[in-house]
Chain A
């Protein structure tokens, strides 16, 4: 019975025009994007190696330790997953004068887009009339008259929609992967297969969420014409509105100070304010020293002071006490102002983190955001990778500045004791280079678990709601 019901649902879908249209569009888009993104990826790989070669030439000829920090900054190489998922790689850079505004205006499309927009739309198109349509056709009455239990019907509808969605998605993606793998230069590692499998599973789950929304809405409406309206309304809110509003709402609820303001304030604290405080402390400590050594009160020229320091041991102690007082004053001023800036920065960091977390939580109301986070994290093109990249950068940093640099400077000084080790060109082509490795699958999966859980939770809740709505449905 149960199998007959699912088979009926699937047959009805498979023979329909909407399924055919969905399949064709999905197939063309997935394969097309895979082809274009693969080319894009290869171009990026070439560009990256070109940049590395340029860097090599520079390191051989002009590298000097004084300004090496800005030159050998760790750079993120393209990852093979970028043939499918664009992610939030640093395409947009407002810190540099040259920026590339095209992606800001027209975000590139990728697998995440195809799943989040198209699959959800297809799911709704397949299911918006699941119950109301059968009521209108009169088949629902017939089915129930034959003693088919209602739970079975609704479960079969959900399963049928899910299976129907999974088919075209997997087929299209397989074709897309073929395009990707046909390029011999795409280095698709085994780990990525695992990640891809999880992304596909999540995509099916995501489609399931929208299928269930369609089924729920259709069992709340008497006519399919109004059920498509409500479905699209819900879809628009969940897919097009909630995620986009979430960071703004979060900035409203959990404000963080403006970065510009903090930058100005810290600059003031460590510049003019520090000078004022230093001068004040200096005057104070010098007054104390003067009280102790009245001899310092005499006004002397620079030459006389020098002579006096050389001749008079008492004056010399006084002079040194004075110098220590000055140094102490400035050291204290630096420490006090430094602590203040650090506090400001910490406050900014904490507030920004709180805001980001809140924005993420709000956006997770939307299944689209969940899938975006999950897919970008699994493909190491998301926020998780930013953290991972920063960690790797820190490790490399230590290797270069703590181990390599002192050794190299020592070697230079051994050869040329009077040379300026900081501002002379030194061949650094043997320097340890930043080497990026993707995070292990375990870590990525861990990051993907919460959004996965939310999607699963959505499915359960929506199914329960659809079940209740269908039980109460008047089939006449």
Chain B
């Protein structure tokens, strides 16, 4: 019976104007996004070939992550070149562009398309499921047959989910298959696995919005009302909550600004150089002081920042969009945790070679060879333990909750 309802939904979707519009949007956006982000990745790879360190140079650079095509996240911050000198880490050559328009609008990566546009699409699949059939009178007919409301709802959900998920998966997999033809991008097996996880997560996220649409549709009498409520709920969940969460968190956790830290670093450096010159001897000690003080500042910043991120995340969890973004970027290896872990690794690398660097510099040794920097993205197990699992489960809870409420609403609905 569920199958029959689902089939009916799929057929009616296939014939509808809505489905045509949605399909057009989906194909257009996913394809464009993959194409554009692929080019972006190719450019960053070319840049990496230029700045990649020779063996023995004390420079820490990680190559661009192919998964950043789908989830750009903090990739730009992570692929900077960290040069280790006698006074600590010097950040060079961010892959920045002089085109200031980039900073006006968010990056249109696959994650953006799913998180913002396809969530709206999923809502549009769900918004008139019950109210429209009631308006047309077909709901009455259906329920007068021997079929329970639970089965009708489940069938509708399945049918609509299939009509959403199948084109989505087809377009995405096709686009990704085209990417695989590019020999410059090599996905490892692990990365392909992570990509599959991203897809599963996206489907979970979209399923939530479908359930939400059905919930509101079951609670309202007219589909015109339902669409209005849903559009506002969507705007709140996708745009407002995640972003106001970080602002609110900042009210409670004071974090020094980037400019303040920058100025502080500069002041420490010039002060120690001055003192070193004034006293004459032992420049090495002053260099060590600079590195030490910077480390202390960095440590302090990181602790505060971690507290801020934790609070912001917990507030943001009210919105599935934030949980989704968090989990997806961490799985792709471009998330906030991954970035701060990389920076901690860079600091550790610096501390492992800085004494030798200073000694070599003082001895005037120019072509010393240092161990190279190694960085591996956290294994998936660690990513999940650090929060991605919780976020995924949280999304699932949102899903179940929305569906259960939709059922409760539908069970009490007056179908006349």
Contact = CB atoms under 8 A, between A and B. Distances in A.
A251 interface: yes
Interface stretch (B32-40, B151-159, B379-387): B32-40
Interface in A301-319: none
A43 B251 CA distance: 9
Contacts, number: 264
A106 B261 contact: no
Contacts of A98: 258, 261-262, 298, 301
A259 B255 contact: no
B173 interface: no
Contacts of A62: 267, 270-271, 274-275
Nearest to B94: A94
A32 B267 contact: no
Contact of B74 (A75, A101, A349): A101
A262 to B, nearest CB: 10
B142 interface: no
Nearest to A224: B224
What interface size band does chain A fall in? 35 or more
- Secondary structure of the B contact surface, majority rule: helix
Interface string B369-391: 00000000000000000000000
A95 B76 CA distance: 11
Contacts of A363: 101, 104-105
A117 B239 contact: yes
A96 B262 contact: yes
Contact of B250 (A21, A40, A224): A40
B91 interface: yes
A244 B106 contact: yes
Contacts of B339: 101
Contacts of A369: 104-105
Contacts of A50: 260
Interface string B254-282: 11111111111111011101110110000
Interface in B10-48: 17-18, 21-22, 24-25, 29, 32, 36, 39-40, 43, 46-47
A356 B260 CA distance: 29
Contacts of B17: 226, 229
B240 interface: yes
Interface string A375-411: 0000000010010000000000000000000000000
A171 interface: no
Contact of A103 (B36, B46, B246, B274): B246
A261 interface: yes
Contacts of A247: 99, 101-102, 105
B200 interface: no
Interface residues of B, number: 104
A97 B82 contact: yes
Interface stretch (A85-93, A185-193, A274-282, A443-451): A85-93
A36 B235 contact: no
Contacts of A104: 74, 77
Nearest to B267: A58
B245 A106 contact: yes
Contacts of B21: 229-230, 233
B45 to A, nearest CB: 11
Contacts of A58: 267, 271
A225 B132 CA distance: 10
A51 B36 contact: no
A118 B103 CA distance: 21
Contacts of B98: 256, 259, 348-349, 352-353, 355-356
A67 interface: yes
Interface stretch (B177-185, B202-210, B226-234, B405-413): B226-234
B361 interface: no
Given A36-B247, A383-B100, A102 B36 contact: no
Interface in A209-251: 224-226, 228-230, 232-233, 236, 240-241, 243-251
By Cβ-Cβ distance, the 8 closest A-B pairs, closest first, are: A352-B98, A94-B94, A359-B101, A244-B108, A67-B270, A62-B271, A247-B101, A244-B105
23 contacts: A32-B244, A33-B244, A36-B244, A58-B271, A62-B267, A62-B270, A93-B262, A97-B343, A105-B74, A106-B243, A106-B246, A106-B312, A109-B240, A121-B235, A244-B105, A247-B101, A251-B39, A256-B99, A259-B95, A352-B98, A369-B104, A372-B105, A423-B278
Interface of A: 17-18, 21-22, 25, 29, 32-33, 36-37, 39-40, 43-44, 47, 50-51, 54-55, 58, 61-62, 64, 67-68, 70-71, 75, 88, 90-109, 113, 117-118, 121, 125, 129, 224-226, 228-230, 232-233, 236, 240-241, 243-252, 256, 258-261, 263-264, 348-349, 352-353, 355-356, 359-360, 363, 369, 372-373, 383, 386, 420, 423-425
